[in-house]
Chain A
Amino acid sequence: MIILGISAFFHDSSACIIKDGKLIAAVEEERFTRKKHDSSFPINAIQYCLKEAGIKGKDLDAVAFYEKPLLKFERVLSQFLDSFPKGLLAFNKTIPSWINEKLRIRSIIKKKIKFYGDVFFIEHHLAHAASSYLLSPYKHAVLLTVDGVGEWASATAGYAKENTLVLEKQIKFPHSLGLLYSTITGYLGMSVNNSEYKTMGLAAYGNPTYYDQLKKIVDIKEDGSFALDMSYFVYQHKMKMPSTKFIQEFGPEKRKNEEMTQKHKDMAASVQKITEETLFKILHSLHKEYKSDNLCMAGGVALNSLANGKILKNTPFKSLFIQPAAGDGGTSVGAAAFTYFSILKKKREYVLNDAYLGPGYTNEEIEKFLKEKEITYTPFKDKKDLTKKVAKLIYENQVIGWFQGRMEFGPRALGARSILSNPCNPKMQEILNVKVKHREKFRPFAPVVCLEDAQEYFECDKEIPLAADYMLLVYPIKEKYRKLLPAITHIDGTGRLQTVRKGQNELYYQVIKEFGKLSNIPLLINTSFNIRGEPIVCTPEDAYRCMMGTGIDYLVLNNFLIKREDNKKDMWDSEEFADD
C-alpha cells in the first residue's frame, strides 16, 4: 500500500511517500525550485517521491493532505468579518489564492498527478502530532504541538497509544505562542516564518529585561495555557504583526540594515524566556494529566532547540522525540502516516532512523556530470582514504562542501548536504562568514559529534534524545572545552549539536573520527551547504555551483574530491544573492 503525503500553499511545501508502512521518501519543494520556503504545489517533490516508489500518480492507494482547507478558510473569513472595515488589502491579497488553489485541492491533485482515488484531509495539528509520534519508537506518549496557526489551533495537546492519537485541547487563534515569537522576530528587522531561529541565537546575547513588560501582553496560566492581549497585535487583519500600541510601548521596529543593539538582544532574550516558561508549564501539567513519560512534540515552536535542550531537565518527562522537519514541511509526513497507521489501521513497526529521505546520486551519475562539465576531480576508490584525506583538509583549516548520499529532510543540514570545517580554529567563524555564509556575526556555527562522544564534550541529558540526531537540542559545552572549541561555542557557552550514530551515515561518522585522531577532539563544524537566502543544495550541480561562487575550498561529491582552485571557470559572486 502506497500513500502520498502533501503539504502545500502556506510555506515549506513538501511531499512524502509511505510504502508498506515505511517512509521511503520525503522532501521539500524548495530544494527543487531553489525558492526558499516555496509554498507552491510541490509537483517536483511529488514527482521525486513517485520515482522513488517506482510508480505513477494513478498507482497510489491514497493521498493525504496536511489540513482541512474549509476549516482554515472559515478562520480566514472570520478574521475579515471580525475586523471589518479593516483588512481590505489583506483580503485582496489572500482571497485569490483561496479561489485558485486552496479550495481546489482535489481537482489540483487530479489534474497534476492524475490520481482519482481517496484524498484524506488531516487536521493541521493532528498532522504535526502524527509526524512526531508515528515516527517515534514509543507505544504511548503525550502529544504537544505548538506553531503559528493551523486551521484554528495554534497549539494542541493530547495523548497517543498504539495507533491512536487524540488531541483533546487547543489554544485558538489569534492567541499564538508561535505568532508572538514571529512578531518579535519581525520587530527585530528579520523575516517572519524564516528567521525565528536567529531570534533564538540572538537571545543568548541579551538579558530578559523586557520579560515583565512582555508578560503583561501574554497571560500564562498555571497549566501553561495562554492568551495574548490582542491590542498589541494586528496580524489578525493586516499583513504586519505588531500594533501601534506595541510600537508605542516597545519603541520603533528595527529596520533591516540597522545595527543590532542591546535592546534588540534583550527583546530576543525576553521572548525566549516567555516561550520556555510557557512550554515548561504546559509540559508539567500534561505529564500530570496523561501520565506518560514519553513526549512527542511538533510544530514550528518545536524547532526551538534552545528550549528543547532544557525540556528533560525542567519537566518530569524522561524521553523526548521530535522529527527533523518539525515545522510545516513535516506535516506531509504526518498526514500520510496518520492515514496509513491510524485511519487504515495498519501495523506500526516503523521508527525513523535518519533524515536521509531526499534525492541521492550514484557515483556513475556524479562522474558523468563531472566529465560533462569538464570539472577536474580526484576519484577515491577506498572510502577510508577519502575520509582520511577530508579529515586532514579540515584539520588544515580548509572549508569542505560535503555532499553524500540522499539529501536530508527538514531545515537542517545533517551530513548529506553540509559544509564541514575545523571547530578548534578561533578564526573559523570569521573564515566561514567571509568565504561562504555571509551570516550575521551573532550566529554561532553548530557542532557535530558521534553519539558516544557527546557526553564528553556536552552537558547533555543522561539519555540523549533521538532529536539530537536532527540538531534540535542545544546543550551547554563543558567548561573545559569551551576555549578549545571557539568556533562552535555560543556566547552563553552552549552549542546546538548534532549527534551521529554509526549506522546512520558511515562516511560522515568516519570523517569526524579521523579528525579526532588528528586534533584529539572528534567534533566538526557542520553548517548547511548553501549561501544565505538560498535553500540547501540538492543536486551535484547545485553543490558545484555553490562551491564555485563562494570560498569553499573543496567539494566532496560521494567518492569524488574536487578542488575549487583547479576549476577556475564559471566563477560568480554569491554575495549578490545573499539575502536574509
Chain B
Amino acid sequence: MKNTKLFFNGIKDGFQEPGHTLASTVNFFLLTLVFILGIGIVSLLSKIVKKRYLPLKSENKNSYWEKVDIGGEKKKEEYLKPF
C-alpha cells in the first residue's frame, strides 16, 4: 500500500514540472489570442475613430489638474462597489 502510494506520488511529482510548463504554454497562447482578438480589434477600431484611452499628449494648458469628486458625503453603497 505504502509503496503504491509512493509510486503514484512519484509520478505526480514527476509530472508537476512538465504540467506547469504545459499550463503556462496554454495560458500564453490563450492570452496572446485574447490580446490579438480582444485588445487588437477594439484598439484598431478606436484608432479609426481616433479615440485615445490614455492622455499621453497633454495640451499646453494653464493647469494639468483634472477635476474629480473623490470622497465627500457619498452614500455608504457607493463604497461597496468595486468601481
Contact = CB atoms under 8 A, between A and B. Distances in A.
Nearest to B29: A92
Contact of B46 (A81, A96, A158, A225): A81
B76 interface: yes
A69 interface: yes
Describe B's contact surface by its main secondary structure.
mixed
Contacts of A577: none
Contacts of A79: 53-54
Given A121-B80, A166-B70, A91 B39 contact: yes
Using C-beta atoms within 8 Å of the partner chain, give the interface range for chain B: 35 or more
B41 to A, nearest CB: 9
A74 B54 CA distance: 11
Interface residues of A, number: 61
A345 B79 CA distance: 14
B30 to A, nearest CB: 10
Main secondary structure of the interface of A (DSSP, over half): mixed
Contacts of B71: 123, 126, 129, 158, 164-167, 338, 342
A120 interface: yes
Contacts, number: 136
A436 B38 CA distance: 52
A226 interface: yes
Contacts of B73: 164
Given A91-B39, A221-B64, A236 B56 contact: yes
B42 interface: yes
A175 B31 contact: no
Contact of B64 (A69, A78, A227, A343): A227
A69 to B, nearest CB: 5
Given A82-B54, A88-B32, A91-B39, A225 B82 contact: no
Interface in A152-178: 153, 156-158, 164-175
B62 A221 contact: yes
B3 interface: no
The 10 A-B residue pairs whose C-beta atoms are closest, nearest first, are: A78-B53, A70-B83, A84-B43, A227-B58, A225-B64, A167-B70, A169-B65, A82-B53, A165-B71, A120-B79
Interface of B: 27-28, 31-32, 34-35, 39-40, 42-44, 46, 52-58, 60, 62-73, 76, 79-83
